[in-house]
Structure 1
Amino acid sequence: MKTRTGIAAALSVVALCAVVGVTVYAAAAGANGDARTVAAMEGPVTPFTPQATFAGLTPATGDPELESLVQVHPSPGAIVAAAGPFDDRFVLEDLAFDGGSVSGAVRVTSDVSDVLDLEVLAGFYDAKGVLVGNARFVHHLVEDATHAEPPEERLEFTIAVPADVSGRAVAASIGVPVLVNE
């Protein structure tokens, strides 16, 4: 008897979900129903696009930053890592700073897949270790129809010292605020 009750309850839930789904679709189609009738006579149909909002969630604005840039105080000539949300997914390699730019490479260690988006943020510091400016390197994967080569796991970057702090920047920090891979 318990099995029949369980099956009946499960079928009731499935039926309720189907009714709700049809009702929502009908409401959405009804909102565009008159437009569809007119459009069928006059031209192309404007598709219905559902949109979701999340209460209390504010959309991001501006470029992603790293609070850790102001927490590090490198000595002159040094390049230090600035903590970020993806530090367990990459290693920094071949870092160099010549006073005019900082360069190096990010090697993704989390898995073997193409890097879709990467932002490397560089902080530049004066002789006292005070942050005087920052700049960034941005990589977006350009998709093509073929994937003949193995995924690129190591991306080289060069970030120039901003003109307004040129001559004062004697140290750098590097962090990664954006890392998206397949």
Structure 2
Amino acid sequence: MTPPNKEVKAMKIDIGISHNDREKIVEGLSKLLADSYTLYLMTHNFHWNVTGLQFNSLHTMFMDQYTEQWNALDTIAERIRALGFPAPGTYKQFVKLTAIQEVEGVPKAEEMVSLLVNAHETVAKTARGIFPIVDEVNDQPTADLITQRLEIHEKTAWMLRSTLEY
């Protein structure tokens, strides 16, 4: 236990990636976290509010998607922490960082699906944008995380897009 009036100093991080490079990676991961949280919230909102002929299938699909997205948030935030920086965690921070536009009102089911396709593709572009610095500094754990997120978002966008075809 730290005695009162004693300052606790954090240990220096020495993982083979400089502070400045870790900071650049965290900037990208923070945007990915904000996009992912915004997508999570959008998907959960649509799960609650979807109506129409495809209600049951979309309601269930959206639930599966927001559950996966919720679990991913922790993985992204914990990578930011492992790199030595605080993870953003407020609406105010997420609004500044996200590239996904908030949806007003309750769209029809087909528009919900289109909005989710676009949002998943936006998250994929954000994730892909982190690769140059990650590759440059040989950060395999972040590369692995990004690769996994890309696979999920690209596949989900394809599956959602497929529901729009007749």
Return the TM-score normalized by structure 2.
0.21
Structure richer in helix, relative to its length: 2
- Whose relative contact order is higher, 1 or 2, with alpha carbons under 8 Å and at least 6 apart? 2
Higher-Rg member (1/2): 1
Return the TM-score normalized by structure 1.
0.20
